[in-house]
Amino acid sequence: MITSNAVKGRKGSIEPPSGKPALQQLHTETPLLEARGITKRFPGVVANDGIDFTLYRGEVHALLGENGAGKTTLMNILYGLYQPDQGQLFIEGKPVRLSSPRQAIDLGIGLVPQHSHLVRRHTVVENLALGLRTTSFFLPARRLGEEIRALADRYGFDVDPEARVELLSAGEKQRVEILKALMRDAKILILDEPTAALTLQETLSLFTAIERMRADGRGVIFITHKLKEVMAIADRVTVLRKGRVVAHVLRQEATAEKLAEWMVGARPIPLKPKVRETPGAFPAGEPPAAEVRPGVPLLEVEDVDVVDDRGRKTLSGLSFTLRRGEILGVAGVAGNGQRELIEVVTGLRRPSRGRIRLGGEAITRRNRSRLFDGAIAHIPEERTRTGVVAGMSVAENLILRAYRRSPFATGPLLNTRAAYRHAEEAIAAYRISAPGPGARVGLLSGGNIQKVILARELSGNPSLIVAAHPTHGLDIAAARLTHELLLEQRAKGAGILLVSEDLDELLELSDRLLVLCAGKITGSLDAREADLPLLGLMMAGGSGT
Amino acid sequence: MDVAVDTLNRAFAYSTPLLWAGLGAVYSERAGVVNLGVEGTMILGSLTAFAVAHRTGSLFLAVTAAALTGALVALVHAFISVTLRANQYVAGLAMTSFGLGLSGMLGRAYEGIALARPMQGITVPVLSSLPLVGPSLFRGQAILTHLGLLVAVALWVLLYKTRWGIAVRSVGESPATADAAGIRVARIRYASVIAGGALASIGGAYLSVAYRPSWTEGMTAGMGWIAVAIAIFASWNPLKAVGASLFFGALYYLSFRLQAYVAPELLKLLPYLAVILVLAFSARGRRRLFLGAPEALGEPYYRGAR
Amino acid sequence: MRASFGPSFAEIVSPPRTRALWVTLASVALGLVASGVVFAVYGVAPIAAYSVLLRETLGDARGQAEVVRKSLPLILIAVGLAFAFRARFFNIGAEGQLLAGAAAASGVALFSDIPAPYTVWAMFLAGFAAGALWAFLPALLKVKLGVNEVITTLMLNFVAVYGIEWLINGPWKGRTVMGFAYSDPFPAWARLPVIPGTRIHWPTLVLGLVAAVALHFVLARTRLGFEVRVLGHNPEAAAYAGIDALRVTLAAALIAGGLAGLAGVGEVGGTHFRLRSPSQISPGFGYTAILAAQLARGQPLAAALAALFLGLIFAAGDVARALLRMPPQVPEMISGLLLLAVVSAEIFIRYQLRFPTVPKGGD
C-alpha cells in the first residue's frame, strides 16, 4: 500500500528503525512505473525481497547498492529478462507482465546496458535501424541519418551516423545505446552503471542528456554505486542491500556518508579471525595459531599498469606488497580492475608497465611458468567455466596443476594410479560429495566443485594464494570450509590475496585491506581500522584519490 | 588486344557458375551459416537442369527446376544447421558427398546425350559495340551470365541498402543482438540459406545447359569449392565477388592459354593459396573489421548461448 | 521469453554414458534406411540389394579381404582425425595430407638412392613428414591468428591435388605413358608386400592398428594426451592450467597429418605402385574418414573399427557395381547420407525434444 502522507511537492525523508521504508508520493499523478512487492529467488539466495519501487515522469531515480544487493536482478525484472516470483509491475497504472525484453521495449522501457550490446562491425545507423519497424525498406539509412542527428542535437550529443561502432569509444557507444532507446520512444530509461567506462567529459555530457530526458518528461532509473553521481543527478534515491530496500530518500535529505552507510550497513567490526573449530578434518598439519605475524614480502607489485586492447587503462599505478602469513583483502565493486589484477598476478596477462616480484624474483617471460607452476594457487572467479574441466573426472581435475610432476607423471607418462589414490584421499579429506574419483566433475554441485578446486590448489603448499570471490554462490557450510582452509594456509605461511565483493568475508579474514576503484587503489588500511562507512566511500570513489 | 578480349570473353563465361554459386555462399554466410555443401548443390542443379531441359525442351523450366532443387537441398542444410544446431562444416561436407554421389547415380541415364536446344549466346544490340566489354560480355554470352551480374548488384543492394539486409547482416555478426532487437534469427537464417542454395544451383544449371551442354558425373569439378573461396576472397561483398569470379575465371582460361610457358596446374592452384593468404591477412585489427568474416559465422545460435 | 509454439530442445542434466552410443547407432540405422530409399528410387530393391552386398563382402574370405583392403587408408586417417578432433582441431585436409604423403613416397621410390631393404621405411618416413607438413600451416595460423582451420586445411587439399597433377604431367611424367598421366612404376623394392592370396598391403594395416593403440594410449596415459583432452574440452581451463595451446594443437595436427600421409604411402606403394591422378589415388578417403572419426566420437580404437565399417561400404560399392550394375558413386552417396544422419543426431545426445504442454494459468 502506498502511504500518502505527502503533500504535493513537499517532502521529508522517512527512515524507520527497521523494516521497509514507506514510499512517499511526490506527485498525485500515476507513476510511470511501479513495482510492488517484487520478490525473486534463485537457488540458495533471495535476490529481491519484497521490493517496492516507483518512477515518475520527469524524474531521475537512483538505485544504489553494492554487487549482490539485488540491483541487477531488479533491473532484469524491469526489463523483462526475468519474471518475479511474487509481486506486480504497473506501467502508467496498468498491470503488466513482461515476458521478454521485446515486450518491454514495446511498452516504452529502454535499457542502456553497462556493456554496449551493438553490432560492432556495423555503423551507428545500421545499429539503430535494426529491428526498427518505422524505417523504410529501401535506403533506411538516409532518412534515419537525419533523424539521428536531430535527436542527438536535442540531447547534446555529437554522433556520426556513419561511424563504425567498433571504432567508437565507450562513451560514444553508450550514446548510441541511448539513442537506440530514445528512437523506440522509451518513456522509461534504465541506465545500468552508465559512468563505469566514461571519462569526465563524457560523464558531464551524459548528465546533460539526462537533464533533457527529465525535461522531456521521461523517467530515468539510474543504477550505480557511485555516490558523487547520485548526489549530482538524482531526485530520489533507493538503496538496496541484500535484496531489500533499506533506505528511500529525496536527494536533499541524503549525504554521501549516510548513503555509504546504508549501502554497506552499520555492523559491528568483527574480532580477529578465530581458531579453527572443526578438528581433524584435514591432512596433517599444525593447527593455525590465533595470531600470526606477517613475515617477509612475498609479492611485490610496483607501479603496474594494465592496458586493454582499446588502450584504456584498467589498472593504473598499482603498488602494494603482500607478505607471507598475511591475508590481503581487495575490496571494490566488480569491474574496477579486479579481474585484471588477478590476471596479472597469476601470470595470465602481462602488465604494460611496472614490475611484479615473487619471492624477490622479478617475473619475466622466461621464468614465468617455473614460478607459477606450484608456487601460486589460483582459486578462480568462474568456478565451472575456468577452474575445472567439467567433462573430465575428479581425479583428472585434481591433477590439473600438478600433472607435469611426480608422482603424477614419470617422464611423458601419467601415473593414473597415483592420481586415483590422491583423489581418494582428497575426497575423504575435504569431504567432497562425489560418487568416486572417476566421476565427471560436471555432475557435482557448486560447493563440491569448489572443494575440488581447493583440494587441488591448496594441496601443493603454495606460497601465494590468489582467491577470487571464493565463496560466491556457495552454501554456508562450504563457505565456512573455504574460510577455514584459507586461514590454515595463512598459518602455514602462505600469503593470500583475497578478492571479494563480500565485505563481511573481507573483514573477517583479512589482515589488511586494499580498496580498488577505477583501476586505482583508493584505500589501503589495516582491517582492524576498517571503518565501514569509510570503506563504502572508498569503494564508491567517494573519498579523495 | 585480341588476347585481352579472348581472355575476358572466356573469363566471363567461366566465371558465371562461380559467380552464381559464390553469391549463394555470400548470402548464406552473411547470415552466419556456412554451407560447404555448395558443390553438391551445384551438381544436383546441373543434373536437374539437364534432365528437365532434355525432357521438356524448355530452358526456363530447366533453370527454375534447378533453382527449386537447390532450395530444397539448402532447406535440409538449414534445418540441420539452424534447428538441430549441428556442426555446419561437417553437415555441408556430408551434403556435398551425398550430392555428388546421388547425382552420379541418377545421372547415369543422361550421360552422352546432347541437348537439342542448349542455351545459346546472345548479342546485345547497342552494348556489343562498346570497346573491350562489348565483344567480351555482350557478344556470345548466355543470358545467365548477364543475369548473374544483375543478381550480384541486386544482392549488394539488398544486403547494404535495405532494412532486410541490415537484419541479415546483424544476424551473421551478432545473433544475440539481433534477437534482442526483435529480429527472428532462425527465420532469416533459413531464408538466406535457402536463397543461397537456389543461387548455387542456378550456377550448376549454367554448366549443363549453356557452358558445356551435356551431363557428366562430377562435372562441377570443384567449382563449388572455388565458390566458397570466392566468398572469402571477396570479403563477403557481392560486388567484389564479381571481381573475384572474373579473376578466377581468367586464371582458369589462362592456365590453358599459357600452357607453353607455365604449367597449368600451378595457375589453377593459385586461388586456393590466395584464400589462405587473405584469411591470414585479415585475421586481426582494422583489416579484420573491414575484410573479416561475419563474426558469428559457423556458430549455431540459441537463446541463452550468449 | 517469447512464446514459442511447437517442440523445443531441453538440456538433459546428466546423460548416461550409453546415450551417445545409442544415438550414434540409431543415426547409422537411419542413414542406411535412407540409402535404401535412394536405391529404390534408382530402381533397385533395397532389401535384396543389401543382402547381396552383405553376402558378397562378409560372406567369404575373399570379400572380407577386400573389406580390409579398402579400409587400410581409412584406418590410418580416421585414427589421426579422431585424435585431432579431441584437441578441437577440425582437420578437413586429410585428403591433401594423404596426397602429400603419396607424392613424397613416390619421390623416394623413384628418385632416391636408398638401398633395397630401407626404401620402404624411407617412403613411410617421407610420407609422414610430408603429411605433417601439410597440416603445419593451418595449425600455426589457427593458434597464432585465430584463422579457422576448416577452411585452410580444405584449401590445401586442392593445392595438393594440383601439385600432384603438375608432377605427373611435368617433371615426374612417366617414360612409357600412353594417354593417361602417371609416373613411372615403382621398382620392385619400393613396393609394399602383400598378404599372400590377397591384395592387402599389410605394413599399412600394421601401422594403422599400431597407431590406433598408440594414440589410445597417448590420450589415456600420457601428459600430452591429458593436455589434448583438456584443450579439447575447455580451452579456457587449459589456459588457466598453463597448457601451451600452440604446442598441443601442433602436436595433434602434425600427428593427424602424418598419419594421413602414411595412408598415401600405402596407396601408392601398395595399391597403385606409381603416382597417378589424385582422384585415382584417393577417391575421397580424406573426407570419408571424417565420418569414421565422427562415429567414433574421438576414440582412436573405435575409429579403427568405424574405418572397417567404411571399408565395408566401399567394398560393397564395388559389388554393387559388378553384380547390381549400379554406378560407382554408391559408396559416396551412402557415406554422405550416413554423415548427414550422424551429424544431425548430435543434438540428441545432450538434449531432448520437449513438446509444449497446455499452459497453466498465470504463466
Is position C258 within any domain? Answer: yes
**All residues at 6 or more sequence positions from B212 whose CB lies less than 8 Å from its CB, including other chains:** B219
pLDDT single digits (tens) A31-80: 889 999 999 988 777 888 889 999 999 999 999 887 778 888 899 899 88
Report the SS3 class of residue C92: coil
- The pLDDT score that the predictor gives to residue C357 is 67
Distance between CA atoms of residues A107 and B243, nearest Å: 47
Handedness of CA C276, C281, C283, C288 (dihedral sign): negative
Contact (CB<8Å) B94/C151: no
**Across A382-400, average pLDDT:** 90
pLDDT single digits (tens) A183-208: 888 999 999 988 877 777 888 889 99
C-alpha dihedral (A332, A336, A338, A343), degrees to nearest 10:
-170
**Domain containing C206: what range?**
64-308
Q: By the 8 A CB rule, do B77 and C308 touch?
A: no
Write down the mean pLDDT value for chain A.
Answer: 81
- The pLDDT score that the predictor gives to residue B198 is 97
Chain A interface disruption, residue of B161, B170, B290, most A CBs within 10 A:
B170
What residues form DSSP beta bridges with A38?
A: A51
Distance between CA atoms of residues C250 and C263, nearest Å: 20
Report the SS3 class of residue B224: helix
Q: Is the pLDDT of residue B170 over 80?
A: yes
Residues of chain C whose pLDDT is less than 70?
1-6, 176-178, 357-363
Q: By the 8 A CB rule, do A489 and A291 touch?
A: no
Contact (CB<8Å) B90/C334: no
Is position C358 within any domain? Answer: no
**Across A82-104, average pLDDT:** 89
Chain C nearest CA to A435, separation (Å) = 13
Is position C339 within any domain? Answer: no
**Across B148-172, average pLDDT:** 95
Is position C58 within any domain? Answer: no
| Whole-complex ipTM | 0.90
Most confident range, picked from A405-414, B137-146, C337-346: C337-346
Nearest to A392 among C3, C222, C229 (CB): C229
- The pLDDT score that the predictor gives to residue A159 is 86
Write out residues 168-187 of C within 8 Å (CB-CB) of B: 169-170
pLDDT single digits (tens) A213-245: 999 899 999 998 778 888 889 999 999 988 899
Q: What is the DSSP string of B16-54?
A: HHHHHHHHHHHHHHHTT---TTHHHHHHHHHHHHHHHHH
Nearest to A131 among B162, B176, B181 (CB): B181
- The pLDDT score that the predictor gives to residue B306 is 39
- The pLDDT score that the predictor gives to residue C177 is 65
Q: By the 8 A CB rule, do A98 and A104 touch?
A: yes
Chain B interface disruption, residue of C332, C342, C346, C351, most B CBs within 10 A:
C332
Check if C320 contacts B (Cβ < 8 Å). no
Residue of C nearest to A400 (CA): C241
Q: Is the pLDDT of residue B192 over 90?
A: yes
**All residues at 6 or more sequence positions from B143 whose CB lies less than 8 Å from its CB, including other chains:** B119, B122
- Global pTM reads 0.86
- The pLDDT score that the predictor gives to residue C34 is 95
Q: Which of A235-239, A371-375, B3-7, B272-276 has the lowest mean pLDDT?
A: A371-375
- The pLDDT score that the predictor gives to residue B148 is 95
Check if C14 contacts A (Cβ < 8 Å). yes
Residue A161, phi then psi, degrees to nearest 5 = -60, -25
Q: Is the pLDDT of residue A372 over 80?
A: no
Chain B nearest CA to A103, separation (Å) = 9
**Across A326-345, average pLDDT:** 86
Contact list in A for residue B295 (CB cut-off 8 A) is: 120-121
Is position C331 within any domain? Answer: no
- The pLDDT score that the predictor gives to residue A368 is 65
Q: Is the pLDDT of residue B1 over 70?
A: no
- The pLDDT score that the predictor gives to residue B124 is 82
Domain A297-539: which CATH class?
alpha beta
Nearest to C332 among B89, B101, B298 (CB): B101
Contact (CB<8Å) C2/A403: no
pLDDT single digits (tens) B11-29: 999 999 999 999 999 999 9
Check if B183 contacts A (Cβ < 8 Å). yes
Q: Is the pLDDT of residue A24 over 60?
A: no
Which chains pack against A, by 3+ Cβ pairs within 8 A?
Answer: B, C
- The segment(s) of chain A belonging to CATH 3.40.50.300 are 33-264, 297-539
Write out residues 437-476 of A within 8 Å (CB-CB) of C: 440, 442-443
Nearest to B173 among A121, A141, A167 (CB): A121
Instruction: Report how many domains make up chain C.
Output: 1
Chain C nearest CA to B299, separation (Å) = 12
Contact list in B for residue C169 (CB cut-off 8 A) is: 263, 265
- The pLDDT score that the predictor gives to residue C135 is 97
**Across B237-252, average pLDDT:** 94
CATH of the domain at C280: 1.10.3470
pLDDT > 70 fraction of chain B, expressed in percent and rounded? 99
CATH code given to domain B2-291: 1.10.3470
CATH code given to domain A33-264: 3.40.50.300
Contact (CB<8Å) C346/B86: yes
Check if C10 contacts B (Cβ < 8 Å). no
pLDDT > 70 fraction of chain A, expressed in percent and rounded? 85
Contact list in C for residue B217 (CB cut-off 8 A) is: 327, 329
What residues form DSSP beta bridges with A355?
A: A302
pLDDT single digits (tens) A245-295: 998 899 888 888 788 888 877 654 444 444 333 333 333 344 444 445 567
Check if A36 contacts C (Cβ < 8 Å). no
